[in-house]
Each structure stands twice: as C-alpha cells, then as structure tokens.
Amino acid sequence: MPGGRRRDRLRWSKIYTFARFWPTVGDDEQPSFHGGPSYSRTVHCNQPQLHRKKPFKYSSNYITTTKYNVITFLPKALFEQFRRVANIYFLLAAALSLTPVSPFTPVSMIAPLAFVVGLSMAKEALEDWRRFMQDMKVNMRKVNVHKGEGQFDHKQWQNIRVGDVVKVEKDQFFPADLLLLSSSYEDGICYVETMNLDGETNLKVKRSLEVTLALDDDEAFRDFTATIRCEDPNPNLYTFVGNFDYERQIFALEPNHILLRDSKLRNTNYVYGVVIFAGHDSKVMQNATKSPSKRSRIEKKMDRIIYVLFTLLVLISVISSIGFAIITKNKMPNWWYLQPDQTTSLYDPDRAALSGFLHLVTALILYGYLIPISLYVSIEVVKVLQATFINGDILMYDEDTGNHAQARTSNLNEELGQVDTILSDKTGTLTCNQMDFLKCSIAGVSYGVRSSEVEIAASKHMESEATGDDAGVYGSYEVELDHEIDFKSDNPRKPTIKGFSFEDDRLMHGNWAKEPTADTILLFFRILALCHSAIPEPDEKTGGFTYEAESPDEAAFLVAAREFGFEFCKRTQSSVFIREKYSSSEDLIEREFKILNLLEFNSKRKRMSVIVRDASGKIFLLCKGADSIIFDRLAKNGRMYESETNKHLTEYGEAGLRTLALAYRVLDESEYSDWNAEFLKAKTTIGPDREAQVERISDLMERDLILVGATAVEDKLQKGVPQCIDKLAQAGLKIWVLTGDKIETAINIGFACSLLRQGMKQICLSTINNVVAQDANKAAKESLLMQITNASQMINLEKDPYEAFALIIDGKTLTYVLEDDMKNHFLNLAVNCASVICCRVSPKQKALVTRLVKEGTGKVTLAIGDGANDVGMIQEADIGVGISGVEGMQAVMASDFSISQFRFLERLLVVHGHWCYKRIALMICYFFYKNIAFGLTIFFFEAYTGFSGQSVYDDWYMLLFNVVLTSLPVITLGVFEQDVSSEVCLQFPALYQQGQRNLFFDWYRIIGWMFNGLYTSIAIYFLSIGMLYHQAFRSGGQTADMAVVGTTMFTSIIWTVNVQIALIMNHFTWIQHLFVWGSVATWYLFLVAYGMSSPTISGNAYQILLEALGPAPIFWIATIIVTAACNIPYLTHKAFQRAFNPQDQHVIQEIKYYKKDIEDAHMWKREKSKARQKTKIGFTARVDAKIRQLRERLNKRALSTSQSLEE
C-alpha cells in the first residue's frame, strides 16, 4: 500500500527527541542484576538444531492447557470424582453390596453411583475436549520460519524451536517471545498491540538493535548467527535482561527489543525475530495460572454438612452394631427359629464381636440414606437448568454483538448471589476504549453543549428523586443544577463520528472565526493538530485520514482538529502538514510546520510539547498536559483565562471527563537556538543521568506558558456502566478497578463511573524511585508502611460519615505491598476505602490482588475482564466473568460466566445470583431434611429388629425415594423458586445482601432443618407404629405385616416431604404443582404397578395397595395424621417468624400481594430508595454529595441574606 511505503522512508527514531542512544557494552562488562530471575539461558540464534539436545533443549512451542489427556483422563477424572467424600463412601458401599454384608441388592447400590459419576465425568470430558480444540487451533497456526539457506517457509507454531528466525507479517500474532531483529521500517521499529497481555489497545513501539538493522530480507539470514544470553523464563512482562553477542560484540537487550507471544504486529508489514522463549516458557504462558476447578462456598459448606452427616451415620452405625453384637451374643442363642448354631460369621453368637464388626459395615450401607447420593446429581441438574435460564435471559442479550450471557461453568451459580467484592478490569470492561472529544474551554469560554453520560445519568437520577416525596426540597436544587448544565437527556446522542461528540455551533462549520477570541481559538486548534506523535493513514474509502496515535485521546484530538477544519494530513521526519480550512466557503490551505523538537509525554512529566516553526518562521512551543502541571508553568501574562478555565476544568472533571490543559509560548530565534544547543548536548550525554539531564533541559523550556484552554474528552464508558456500578454499590458490593493503564487514565475512568468524585479523599500509594540505594527494597517498604499507617489513621480519625476515601496504587508499589509482611496492612487500608484503583498492574498482579482480597477478607470475589491479561484474575477469583466483546476469547475461555456488557452484571448478580443462591440454599437444606427424615426411620426400625440390618421398606422403595419420588420437586424448587420477582430484585438491591450475609445457609438454619428432619423421622415412625400395632388394621381382621407397615410409613414420608416442599415454596407455577403433586401421584401409581408385577419380584408388596391398603381406612388416616403432625412445627415456626420477625422478602411479598405498591405508589417509591445500601461510590453517592454541597451553600446564602436583612 502506498501509505505504508511512504512511511517506510520515515526514520521514526528521528522525530522522537528522546530517542534512545544505545550504548554498547564492553565485552568484559556484565550487566548487573538486582534480584529477579537467574540468568542462565543461552539462545543460539538461527541455529535451532543446537537446541535439540541438552543443555540447550528448552521447552517447545507446543502449548496445552487441558487438564487431562487420553491416558490420564480416566484415572485423573475418576480421582477428581472420588475426591468427593460422599462418592468414596458410595463406591465402597457399592463394592460391599456384592458381598452378603449388604442389606440391599447390588444393583440398587451400583446403578445410582454409576449414573452420578458417569454424568459428571462426561461433563468433564466435554469441557476438556473444548479446551483441547482451542489449544490445537493455536498450535496449528502457521508462521514463516527460516529453513536455512535464506529460505523461509511456513511452519506450525508447535514446531517452532528456540533459536528459530521467524518472519511475522502484519496483523499476525507472535508465535513465541521473540527478539526483534529488523522490521519493514528502515530503523527497525515496529508497532505492537499488547491487548492480550495488558489490555491496552494503544500501539507500542518496539525497536531492534541498530546492529541487526541490516538483516531485513530473507537472504540476509543465510549465514546469520548470534548468541543471546538472558534471564530464565519468568512471568514478568515488563522486564527483560539479557545481552546479544553478535559479530564479537555484546549488546545489552532491553524489554523494548522483545516481542511477546500473543501480542500482535500492527502497522508494520513484517518483522524478523529470533525465538527466545517458546511455548510454556514464554512470558504470557508463565503468567497463566493453572485453571483451578472452582467450587462455590455453599458447596464447600455442603461438604462439611456431609461430614456432619457422616459422623451421624457412623454414630448410629456404631450404636446399631454394638446393639447387634450384644443381642447376637446374649439373645440370639435362644432364638432357635434363626438356627443360631448353623450360622455364618454374619450372625454368629460365638463370635459376636466379629459379627458386630461386620454389622457395622452393613449398618453403614443401610443408613446410607442419610447421605443423599442424588444430591450431587440433583444439584448438577439444577445448576445446568439455572445456567440455561441465565443463557436464555433476553435481558442479558446484546443486540450489537449478538452475544448472550453464558454460564460456562454451572457450578458457581449460587456464588453469584454472595459476591462481596468485584474486581474489574477497565479497558473493554468499563470503557469501550473509545475517546470522544466532547467539550473544550477556549479563552475562558466553555464550548460543547452535549452532556456527558455522567451528567445525563445524574440528571435523570435527580429528576426521579425530585418527583419523590422530597420534591419540594430537591426541586430547588435542580433548578440550580440545571442552569449550569443543560441536560438533554431527551435528545439522545447519535455520534456520527467516532471520537468526536462535540456539538456547538459557535465553533463548528468555521463559525469560530466570528468569536471575539478567534485568535486564541485558532491557536487552540493548531495545538490540537500539531502537538502529538501520531501518524496519519489515508483512508481509501472516504479519502480522509485515520490516525495512528499512541493513545486514544490523542486520536480524538486529531479527529476533533479535523472536524474543526485543521486536518493533519502528513508527517515527514521534520514537518507536519495541516490542511486548514477556516470556513466552509474557503478553500483548503496546506500549511507546513517544521517540528524542531518533540518533548515526549511520560507519566512523570504529565505533559508533552512540540517546538514548531511555522511558515512565517515564528517558533512556538505548543504544550498540552495535566492542568496542575500546566498551571504551575504559566507566565504572568499567560494567566488571563486561568480562573475561568479552572472552573471549567472542575466542571468537566465532575462530569467524568478527562481533561488536558493546552498552552503555548512564543520563542524567539536566539532563545531557541541557545536552548537547543543545550538540549542536544544533554541528549548525547552518555551515562546514567542522561535522562535526568534531558528532563531538566526540557523543563527549562516548558515555562512561561500562555494558557489557551482545556479539552475534555470522554472516555466512553460502556453502555450502562455508571448505572450498573451504582446499583451494584447499592447492593452492598465493593468495586475495585485493576487496570494495566496509566494512573491518570485510571483516575479519569474512576471519575467517569463515579468510583471517584470531587471531594473524595484520594490516597495514593507510591514508591520513590531510588535505584541507587543499596537496600532499595527495604527503604521502599518502610516508606510504604508509613504511608499505609498514616492513611489508616486518617481514615480512623475521620468523623464525617459522608467522607469517602479512594485508594490509588500503581503496579510497582503493588509488588512491595503484596509481599507477605505488608499485604495485610494494605488490605486493611483498602477495605476501609470506598473505592480502590490499581493501575499499571501486570496480569500476575491482578491475580495476586484478587487472591489477597479473596483470602484476606474471606469473602466472595468476582473478577470481570475481557482481555487475556485478565485471565489470571478471572481464574483466581471465586467467580470469573469474561466480557465477550470484540477482543480475543481468552478471558471468556477462562471465565465461569461470560456476558457481553458490563451492565449485564447487575442482572446476573442481583437477579440470577440472588435467585440461584436462595434456590440452592433451600434445596440443599431440604435435601438434608428429607434424607434425615427418611434415613432415621430405618434406624428406629432397627432397634425393633434386634439391629439385624433389616429394612422395613422394600428395596425398590428405597431406590426410588431419592431417584424418582422426591427428586423432581426438589429440582423444581432449585430451578423455579422465586421469593420475589426479578423486577423487585432490581428495585430492592438490599435484598442481595441476604446472600452476602448468607442468611439462608448459615449453621443455625442448617441445624434447624436437621432437627426438623429428626423430628419428622420420629413422628413418622412412632405414629405409624402406634397405629399399625399388633391389632387388625382392617375390618376384615387382617393384621399388619412388614410390607403393610413399611408401605404405610413410606407413603407418609412421601406425603410429608412433598407437603414440606410445598410449604417452602413461595412461587407456584403449574410446573411446581405438576411435580410436587405429581410425585405423590407417581408413588401411588408405582405402588399399583409394582403390586401388579409378579410376586417373585414384588414379594410381600404384591397387590398391596389395591388389595391390602387401599380399602383400609387406617392407611389413609395414618397418612393424613403423619403428614399433618410432621409439618405443623414447621408451619408454626414459619407463621411465627413471618408474623413477628418478618424478613424483607416477606414484607415485600405482602406489599405486592395486597397491591400496596400500586395503591400507595409513594410509599413504594420511598422504600425503593431507602432500600439502597448507603454507598460512598456511584452516581447516587455523587448526587447526594452534590446535594449536600448545595444545601450547605443554600444555608450559607440564607444565613447571609438574613444577616444582611438584620443589618
């Protein structure tokens, strides 16, 4: 393409004033290292064959992220399955069921287990297969590799070795970590997009060593050899230490020479590189943490309950085997009808101890019904169904991308209802990573009539507040707010131009020339068009230009300048060309500006400047930078607009915009040349203080500036992000932002999504850059500890309840803070802050911070992100949520849930999370209840059979109990139960806190349910036995045998547990009715069918319902009374609780039931607003703060007027 070729001629390094001068390191000099990884790797460039054998045999480029392979699947997956204690127990039980010890038939033990384990393993296999396919896709990618003799050929990624020379073409991913040798640009630079590594979408420039620049075509590699000695594989993305031994000279290598795997080559036709780290050695793979199998808290607690039940099981088994041993020893010799002298060791009175021991095994199997085998399967089924509801929720479907929410692992659904802290990535998650030029202040006049999203949302919010009960009070504020910012919420913005949402006729269409300050405005536009380091790229489709800038705001400025009529169209090594068009009628004038110097932006300087000479020969210094920096550097005569601009800047900041101040300075020729001489000298200094020198000299020039104005750019938040954050905050969630971005950007976003606001106290933790100090680490840590202690003290001493603190910390500081001795101090400070923002964090650090929060607070953490750099954190957090947006799929692949927009998080958590939590909690409690109720009746019966291990129920009843008769109602409970509708969930975020506080699955409740089970079992057993005692149970004089007693008891149990579940449910659709009452009906149907089967199958249950029980009134009477007696205590408890200690959902249900929300809309509205968690972040907090501020002002004004009246 022509553009590319034109740029090829451009020596990029020349336009950077700070272009590095690469000192060569002498042969004898060894770079020094401060800690870090050891330094043993040797790479023989272009000699991959040397890396076939030890000691240079490094790992290949084949990657695998699967958990299993063909051979290990069976053992490993089985091992995984039998890590569940319950499954081991059932496995043993199944094995023992083959021996005569078992009280049941083998099929009834083995079939359910095989079903349960098989189902879970099939699921695992499927998931791993998907991962395998994903890996294969990556491994099969092709890249051009040097085959020898200057020939390049395509090779699969997996076959690349360390030492290979590869040629990567435009828009390809780097297959491994490469040393950049040369590029299509003459000066060996290339652009790299590191989106997958750190989430930043701006392009980064990488440069090759000067010495390898010549290696820029295939032929050049015929005889190329070199040796790299460098650090060992490590996960640190931003460091690289090594040297390059080429043509008997040694050159130091820096991170800037390294192209990392999974980043992408952009805007560069091709590069040559040599593989340093391949496959799992590469930095991105080192950053990958093993994907853990996550289990929800409820499930972990469930395991503990299972332990409790096991204890109970062992206890009653021991009781019953001791009882059995005693009876066998003392009584059985007299029981001639058992032929005690012809017995096996199972019932041997002479060896009662042995029999007792064997009986222990029998009992453990017999009472196994205490441990619900179908619990895991039922939960799995429920979760899969819950997940389908999440997937199918149309309100979480994104029309633009066509993605719906996806629960990728279904075992964390209920955890969604308990989230305490959200750790969010910024780029792509909170923001679209798109900057829109929205407003500007020029010469003390603010332009731009459109409102930022923050303003629109705030106004909407206040409108709704105003119509509330306090309308009178708020109304007055609104007027006051409104005259300042003209909200146009009814006029939705339709941005026609990406990056430009500015709207103001005073400046557009050349109208600016009519403004009184047209000169300043012209200057303003010129600064926008000149003061940057971007390059234009012609767009063939439209004939215009697109801009390749280092940061998205820079691009937004250029687009803005273009729209104002100052189109940046060409950059040469020394000049920038601008097509200026003063009004729509005038013709284009192309002007050339000579770029004399470019003083680069960095986060320390917080400004950038260019020194240009215009056509007339005048020299200007044009500067843009953070307002505080610029304001400090203004000349006395440059402060004309300072106060207005300052006011505007504050307004913009409040509106969530990122601002920069623009200034200029006119230089005269001699002044400039003096300075330039010094500057050049500084630049060519060799030694460590070169940068300091350059900086000092630059600083000298960037003084006595004249303020022109300020820009306000909106970092476009994703749709609905502020509202979502607001709601989440109201639901009591804490939100941390972890971003790879610069601190300034992060803070701006913090403002935009109301995590930060004016008047919030910001605590910035930082380290002093003191590399010289011997014990730099120690010093830095000490100073940090000081900062943390001070900040904590400040928070503790704060009296104002509305005062909020924000903690801001960068990645470097985090490395210290995350060390073991510091992390708890840090965490204590962080949890006391309303919002926490971590900037410049590496993927690994994201994961570490997540772990710190997770382990330090012990609460549920949710990590949300969209890029590969978020994978670590997504995997580390209790719940990982991936944004399935435009960018790569890595985050989604690693996540547990994927949604396409951040705003769907609200519905995911507040609605689905809340429901799933309650459902699963209720379901598990009920499960234990029903199994205890059932299991203990078997135990009580034992006491009446001499503890012989005989069950009163038919084997078939037992088998069906868990699998058929009681499973479907509990599944409907788990899938369809709703305490309140989704609408109410969203209206009352406070309901979410029930999950955070774990109100429905605390030990109190669990034990309560267990006692309910115990009571039920007692009631069932003794009532049934009492009624079916030795007397005739029918008018026909027949007496009850074991089948009659067992069937009656079992019928009572079926009724009891199903009525119980009906009492639990709050929400009956036809489905619940069908399954609950259907289960009861199924039981009777089964009984009829079973009774009709051959008596060799049904035994004493033959014709039991139709002939024996059906006509017997006592059968029905017994069922009724047992069902009633078992459920009365629960009903009483529930009625009592509801009457005198109602929970929020009870009251809300009542309000809804009596339609009070419609009758008394006022009350409903008031309660909705009260239900919000008092937050210090989010819109509401921001609006509240604003209102407080206004109220104070109003009070003051009232005071002063009254005073003046008095006077």
Partner 1 sequence: MNNSAASTSSGSGDVPAPRRNSNRPKYSRFTQQELPACKPILTPRWVITVFTLIGVIFVPIGVAALMASNKVVEIVYRYDAVCIHGNTKDEKVAYIQNANTSKTCIITLTVPKDMDQPIYVYYQLDNFYQNHRRYVKSRNDAQLKDSDKANDTSGCDPEKTTPDGSPILPCGLIAWSLFNDTYSFSIGNQNLTVNKVGISWKSDRDHKFGDNVFPRNFQNGTMKGGASLNESIPLSQQEDLIVWMRTAALPTFRKPYGKIEQNLRVNETITVIIQNYYNTYSFSGKKKLVLSTSSWLGGKNDFTGIAYLTIGGLCFFLATAFTVVYLVKPRKLGDPSYLSWNRNPSGH
Residue 426 in marked binding region: yes
Tell me which residue has tokens 């020394």. 574
- Answer yes or no: are the C-beta atoms of 682 and 647 closer than 8 Å: no
Q: Can you read off the two tokens belonging to residue 637? A: 């005569």
Residue nearer to partner 1 on the CB measure, 255 or 495: 495
Q: Give the position of tokens 């349960």.
A: 116
Q: What is the dihedral of CA 204, 565, 644, 661, to 10 degrees?
A: 20
Q: Is 689 annotated as a binding residue?
A: no
Contact at 8 Å (CB) between 768 and 812? no
Binding positions for partner 1, 316-335, rule CB under 8 A: 331, 334-335
Element (H, E) at 669: helix 669-684
If 0-12 CB within 10 Å is exposed, 13-18 middle and 19+ buried, where does residue 43 land? Answer: buried
Segment 256 to 285, residues that bind partner 1, using CB under 8 A: 266-267
Question: Is residue 601 annotated as involved in ligand binding?
Answer: yes
**Is 624 among the annotated ligand-binding positions?**
yes
Residue 595's SS3 state is strand
In whole angstroms, give the CA distance from residue 495 to residue 555.
16
User: Segment contacting partner 1 (CB under 8 A): 72-80, 119-127, 534-542, 852-860?
Assistant: 534-542
Task: Please check if 304 is assigned to a binding site.
Answer: no
CB 928 within 8 A of CB 359: no
The residue type at 398: D
- Does 361 sit near partner 1 (CB under 8 A)? no
CB of 1090 to partner 1, least distance (A): 13
| Burial 302-337, CB ≥16 within 10 A → b, else e | beebbeebbebbeebbeebbebbbebbbeebeeeee
Report the nearest approach of partner 1 to the CB of residue 1028 (Å): 7
Q: Is 741 annotated as a binding residue?
A: yes
Q: Does 193 sit near partner 1 (CB under 8 A)?
A: yes
What residues numbered 1061-1080 form the site for partner 1, per CB under 8 A? 1066-1072
Q: Which stretch binds partner 1 (CB under 8 A): 78-86, 172-180, 340-348, 600-608?
A: 340-348
Range in contact with partner 1 (rule: CB under 8 A) among 252-260, 396-404, 573-581, 852-860: 396-404
Site for partner 1 in 1122-1181 (CB under 8 A): 1124-1125, 1128, 1131-1132, 1134-1135, 1138-1140, 1142-1144, 1147-1154, 1156, 1163, 1166-1167, 1170-1171, 1173-1174
Give the closest residue to 979 by CA, choosing from 1126, 1169, 1153, 1135: 1153
From 1041, 1158, 1199, 1200, residue interacting with partner 1 (rule: CB under 8 A): 1041
* Concatenated DSSP letters of 60-108: -S-----S--HHHHHHHHHHHHTTSHHHHHHHHHHHHTTSTT-SS-HHH
How many residues bind partner 1, per CB under 8 A? 150
392 binds partner 1, rule: CB under 8 A: yes
| 1203-to-912, 1140, 1193 alpha-carbon distances in Å | 57, 53, 15
Strands 419-424 and 734-738: parallel
Interface with partner 1, residue 385, by CB under 8 A: no
DSSP 8-class letter at 1106: I
Is residue 936 a contact point for partner 1 (CB under 8 A)? no
Asked whether position 393 contacts partner 1 by CB under 8 A, the answer is: yes
CB-wise, 761 or 1152, nearer to partner 1? 1152
- By the rule CB under 8 A, 148 interacts with partner 1: no
Distance in angstroms (rounded) separating the CA atoms of residues 370 and 351: 29
> Is residue 548 a contact residue for partner 1 (CB under 8 A)?
yes
Is 1042 among the residues that bind partner 1 (CB under 8 A)? yes
Counting contacts by CB under 8 A, is residue 391 touching partner 1? Answer: yes
How many whole angstroms separate alpha carbon 1143 and alpha carbon 994?
10
Which position among 1040, 1054, 1076, 1177 is part of the footprint of partner 1 (CB under 8 A)?
1040
759 is in an annotated binding site: no
If the CB atoms of residues 394 and 797 are measured against partner 1, the closer one turns out to be 394
> Smallest distance, Å, CB 85 to partner 1?
28
Q: If 0-12 CB within 10 Å is exposed, 13-18 middle and 19+ buried, where does residue 775 land? A: exposed
536: nearest Cα among 150, 1038, 1115, 2 = 2
Looking up tokens 């203990």 gives: 936
Query: Does 1203 interact with partner 1 (rule: CB under 8 A)?
Result: no
Instruction: Round to whole Å and give the CA distance between 1176 and 834.
Output: 6
Helix ranges (DSSP H) in 269-296: 283-287
Which residues in 22-51 contact partner 1 (CB under 8 A)? none
**What tokens appear for 959 in the block?**
């088998």
Q: Judge whether 1050 is annotated as a binding position.
A: no
Question: Does 866 carry a binding-site annotation?
Answer: yes
498 binds partner 1 (CB under 8 A): yes
User: Counting contacts by CB under 8 A, is residue 294 touching partner 1?
Assistant: no
Q: Is 928 annotated as a binding residue?
A: no
Residue 198 assigned to a binding site: no
Q: In whole angstroms, what is the distance from residue 357 CA to residue 344 CA? A: 14
Q: Is 1089 in the site for partner 1 (CB under 8 A)?
A: no
Considering the complex, state which of residue 963 and residue 990 has its C-beta at the smaller distance from partner 1: 990
Pick from 246, 976, 1015, 1050 the residue near partner 1 by CB under 8 A. 976
Is 54 annotated as belonging to a binding site? Answer: no
Binding status of residue 551 toward partner 1 by CB under 8 A: yes
What the block records as the tokens of 1204 is 């003046």
Crossing angle (nearest 10°) for helices 453-466 and 721-730: 50
427 is in an annotated binding site: yes
Question: For residues 257 and 179, is the Cβ–Cβ distance under 8 A?
Answer: yes
Quick one: 446 or 901, whose CB is closer to partner 1? 901
Q: Which one of 812-820, 838-846, 932-940, 978-986 is the stretch in contact with partner 1 (CB under 8 A)?
A: 978-986
Q: Using CB under 8 A, which of the segments 156-164, 224-232, 555-563, 680-688 binds partner 1?
A: 555-563
Q: What is the CA radius of gyration of the chain?
A: 37
CB of 427 to partner 1, least distance (A): 10
571 — alpha (psi -120 to 50), left (phi > 0) or beta? beta
Of the candidates 425, 436, 627, 726, the residue annotated as catalytic is: 425
Min CB(987)–partner 1 separation in Å:
12
Looking at residues 1095 to 1114 of the shown chain, list those that interact with partner 1 (rule: CB under 8 A): 1095-1096, 1099-1100, 1102-1103, 1107-1108, 1112-1114
508 binds partner 1 per the rule CB under 8 A: no
Q: In what order do the strands lie in the sheet with 619-625?
A: 445-447, 431-442, 706-717, 658-667, 619-625, 607-613, 589-599, 575-580, 566-571
Query: Which residues lie closer than 8 Å to 19 by C-beta, 6 or more apart?
Result: 13
**670 scored as a contact of partner 1 (CB under 8 A):** no
Residues 424-463 that bind partner 1 (CB under 8 A): 433-435
- Residue 1201 tokens read as 């007027």
For residues 874-913, which are near partner 1 according to CB under 8 A? 886
108 is an interface residue for partner 1 by CB under 8 A: no
**Is position 950 an interface residue for partner 1 (rule: CB under 8 A)?**
yes
Residue closer to partner 1 (CB basis): 646 or 945:
945
Active site includes 216?
A: no
Please give the residues from 68 up to 107 whose contact with partner 1 meets the rule CB under 8 A.
103
Q: Which of 175, 417, 732, 995 binds partner 1 (CB under 8 A)?
A: 732
Does 979 appear as a known binding residue?
no
Binding residues for Mg(2+): 425, 427, 866, 870
Active site residues: 425
Binding residues for ATP: 425-427, 554, 601, 624, 658, 739-741, 840, 846, 869-870
Binding residues: 425-427, 554, 601, 624, 658, 739-741, 840, 846, 866, 869-870
